[in-house]
Amino acid sequence: MIFLSQYYLTSIFSIQRLRDVNSHNESIARFTLQEQKHLKRKHDQELTDEKLRASTAISQVRKQAAATTTKYESALKQQNELVQGYCQLSEEVADEFVSLSKTYDDKVPALKATAQKRLDRNKNLKEKISALKDELEVTHEDMQSQLDQARQDICVLQEQLHQKIEECEEFELMTQLAGEDLMQLRCHKLKKIGNPKSWDPIVTQLVIEMLAHQTPPSCVSANILSVVKLLMPEAPIIEELPSIRFIRNCRTVSLHLSKTLAAYEIAKQDIFLQLFTDGTTRRQTEFQNLVIGILTSSGYRRVALDSCIISEEHNAESVTASILVAFQRSGKLLDQWRAVTQEMYPNQPDLLDGIPTSKDLSLTKLAKGFTMTDTCNTARKIQQLLKDEISNVCKEKGLADEEIEVHTSYC
């Protein structure tokens, strides 16, 4: 009984221990399962991350492979194009070589024939050269003999030349004795000279002469040509003719020439007999004239010193001042004439003796003269002002009152 009890207790203890072991095993198994699940989840997570990194790396590798493939394909395409170009170029070169070969084959016979002709011509030329050398030797001998003869002829001609020189010296002496008579027979060519080109004084004088004869400017050149062709048809005189513009500009020269000659004619006289002035209007412009009466060897003459005096204002004082200025300008023309003459003929001072100076054209020569105008009020006032100016100038020159006797008259 005790044994059974002990056995029973032992069995109970064994069963209890077994239960404890089982519970412990179960707890261990439970803990192991959870740990396995946790490890599995961790492993799965790491596997997933590894797959993600692998897929990312694979995609990058694929992109790099695709880019590299594209690059190699492009390079391969270029290489293929270059190969095709080289192939096409080689075909063209081959065709051109074939064409040149055919051309060479076609031209070689012609070139050979041309070369043969040139050789034959060179042979002929050599033969001709040798013949010409022989002829040259013969000609040289002939020329030497002719040269000797020419030297003898030159000696004879030199003697004749000395005789001709002596005759020319005699003719030159005769020409100098003839002087201006022979110079008048010399032909003068009508052409522009100098730089810049301009007409010489002879052409200008010819144009002014025709204008003075009231020839229209448009007819001057034609008249010059007609006269020269009629008088000297064979002489090479006219190379060119003056233009209408030049001829019209010569009218200004003619105006200055006329004023200078008028001042010259008046200034030569010792006394002036009369001073006449009158005014008129053209195209709403008023102007005055100035005429001086002088007594020359051929009788009484009236010379227009200025036929168009325009004053600043249309009153008597302004007109009188303009008339006095006209006297001064005419005197300056005489001085300019003297200066030009002295410059052109420095070795002939006697020419200046025949040209009056500006001092010779003075109002003091009217100390015993007359002033004449019409009877309008302005003209009479101008006359009185001129009379006073003449008296003042005479007094400034040292004339006494008894020597000053200016008379007035009316037309």
Angle of CA points 44, 49, 50, to nearest 5°? 95
State yes or no: cis peptide before 217, omega within 30 of 0: no
pLDDT in tens, 95-117: 887 887 777 777 777 777 888 88
Residue 406 — φ and ψ, nearest 5°? -90, 125
Name the pairing type of β-strands 299-309 and 407-410. unpaired
Residue 3 has pLDDT above 90, yes or no: no
Distance between CA 358 and CA 349 in Å, rounded?
A: 18
Task: Name the average pLDDT for the chain.
Answer: 82
Task: Tell me what pLDDT residue 1 has.
Answer: 47
pLDDT in tens, 339-352: 999 998 888 888 88
269 DSSP 8-state letter: S
Distance between CA 365 and CA 376 in Å, rounded?
A: 26
Spatial neighbors of 296 by CB under 8 A, at least 6 apart, are 269
pLDDT in tens, 139-196: 888 888 888 888 888 888 888 888 888 888 877 777 666 555 534 444 455 566 655 6
The alpha carbons of the chain give a radius of gyration, in whole angstroms, of 66
Distance between CA 79 and CA 73 in Å, rounded?
A: 10
Task: Tell me what pLDDT residue 342 has.
Answer: 92
pLDDT in tens, 346-376: 888 888 888 999 899 888 888 888 888 888 8
Closest Cα partner for 204 from 272, 160, 254?
254
Distance between CA 52 and CA 177 in Å, rounded?
A: 137
Q: Where are the beta strands (DSSP E) in 210-367?
A: 274-282, 285-296, 299-309
Task: Tell me what pLDDT residue 405 has.
Answer: 86
The number of beta carbons lying within 10 Å of the beta carbon of residue 172 is: 10
Spatial neighbors of 175 by CB under 8 A, at least 6 apart, are 182
The pTM for the full model equals 0.52
Distance between CA 239 and CA 191 in Å, rounded?
A: 6
Q: How far is CA 268 from CA 342, 356, 361, 407, in A?
A: 19, 6, 8, 22
Residue 95 — φ and ψ, nearest 5°? -65, -40
Residue 364 — φ and ψ, nearest 5°? -65, -20
pLDDT band at 329 (very low <50, low <70, confident <90, very high): very high
In terms of Cβ atoms closer than 10 Å to its own Cβ (0-12, 13-18, 19+), residue 263 is: buried
SS3 state at 238: strand
Q: What does the domain layout of the chain look like in residue ranges?
A: 190-242, 260-410
The number of beta carbons lying within 10 Å of the beta carbon of residue 203 is: 21
pLDDT band at 4 (very low <50, low <70, confident <90, very high): very low
Taking a C-beta distance cutoff of 8 angstroms, is the pair 367, 406 a contact?
yes
